[in-house]
Amino acid sequence: MTGFLGQALLYIVPFLLVLTFIVTIHELGHFLVARAFGVKVDRFSVGFGKTIVGRTDRHGTEWRIAWLPLGGYVKFSGDLDASSVPDQAGLAELRQRVIAEHGPGAERDYFHFKPIWQRALIIAAGPAANFLLAMVLLTGLFMALGEVTAAPRVGQVAPGSPAAAAGFLPGDLIRSVNGRAVDEGADVTEIVMLSAGDPLRFVVDRAGREVQLIATPVRQVENNAIAGRVRVARIGLGIQPLRSDIQYRRLNPIEAGARSVERIGSTIGGTLTYVGRIFAGKESGDLLNGPIGIAKAAGGITQQSAAASDDPTLSALNVLINLIQLAALVSIGIGIVNLLPIPVLDGGHLLFYGYEAVARRPVPARVQEVGYRVGLALLAGLMLFATWNDLQKLSLFKFLGGLA
């Protein structure tokens, strides 16, 4: 029993720490921009449920830490409905109530009576804070650790694989894939993983001679210590750089910042490409993770990082570095998801504001209600799909046709 509890804590605690930290920064983005525009805020909560500790600042905002650490929220004064976009009737009622309670002019401090551009910036500040957080975390890691690049040198070629059929040989140095220059093995892996069933044109350096090869990635099931059982595209190459292929250099703050922006851009691009391939029927969505998958990744990273060294200090440092990398990746993901044009998300609010800017009036209440319900259904469906993937990766429900 003790061992089970220990394993559960190993997976749950890092997940909750990472998630709560990231969501708090997201909500802080909304809050700071709202405060800059003079919006009245009732509450900023870290966690949900009953208050553990709290205080009210001089602006009348209640700051609190709640007992359920599953993120947090910011509540603007005057929020009338779940979508936070009242229609004309709702705005008129709110205006009358505020004026009756606080006098004429008090409504100017409320979020819903701010200009559209201010409201849009306040909403967009949440996802922007996620991307900024990822940039800060990655920049710090690049500055502290420097950058290691390992050229994509072929070490092994699996017999009978697409790579073997294409003519790859051990010792080949991959220079480009489909015209895109590659500097390290991770670049090749990313392209291959997002190209199942699509022929890829490789240019390799073979003993100083340029050779062009074509290989088509095929999906295969792998047991990953962190991700679980996943179906990914491979061509059967084992990347094994020589000592001379590995380079290390320290990065100054500007270089580190540029590399972090490049990493965020490639992550966003890869995510959008993968989602596009799902809708095109070229991917099954196996790599989409829900809360269970993120928790498993957090626990697996913590366990592997701690076991990497016998020195407790080095183990703790290794755990910290890898959890920071995970936090940056999850933060990017949360930023992307929140920008989806679904009414219950920030992107849906921005969509409503776009309509309001063009039509010069808020979206009608009936349309908002329908949009809200559809948005909830879409979001619930996405969460169920991601959770189903997570359970399949844990080898559950195998009898129902899971990964085999």
Give me the active site residues, please.
27
Structure tokens, 104? 């004429």
Neighbours of 112 (CB within 10 A): 21
Question: What are the Cα distances from residue 150, in Å, to 17, 174, 186, 200, 243?
Answer: 32, 11, 9, 21, 9
DSSP secondary-structure letter at 398?
A: G
Give the span between the Cα atoms of 296 and 154, in whole angstroms. 31
Give the span between the Cα atoms of 42 and 36, in whole angstroms. 15
Beta strands 200-206 and 209-215 are antiparallel
- Residue linked to tokens 């959770």: 387
Instruction: Evaluate whether 391 touches 292 at the Cβ level (below 8 Å).
Output: yes
Catalogue the E-assigned strands of 85-196: 147-150, 154-157, 173-177, 180-181
Residue 76 β-bridge partners: 41
